[in-house]
Amino acid sequence: MDPQALARNLADAGCPPPLAEELLALLAAGREEEALARLARHRAALLERCHTAERAIGCLDYLVYRLERPAQTHKEVFP
C-alpha cells in the first residue's frame, strides 16, 4: 500500500499522529504482525469509547423520557 494512502487511511480511522507514525515505522520495518496487533488494540479502544457513549445516550434518553411525562411525575425524579 502506498505510504501516503496508508497515512491518510490511518488519519481517517482516528489514529492520533503518534500512533500513525508508530504504525508506519512498524510496517516500513516489515513488522506487520506487530502493526496488526497495535491496530487491534486501537480498534478495541475505539469500540469501548463507542460503547461508553451508547450507555451515556441511553441514560440521557431515559432522563428525557422521565422529564417529558406529565408534570406531577417530576416530583418522582426531582423530589
Q: Looking at 2-6, 7-11, 37-41, which range is the least confident one?
A: 2-6
User: In angstroms, rounded to a whole number, what is the distance separating the alpha carbons of residues 7 and 15?
Assistant: 9
Mean pLDDT of the region 52-76: 85
Mean pLDDT across the chain, nearest whole number?
A: 90
- Asked if pLDDT for residue 11 goes beyond 60, the answer is yes
- Residue 6: what pLDDT? 93
Work out the average pLDDT over 24-44. Answer: 96
pLDDT at position 71, please? 61
End-to-end CA distance of the chain: 61
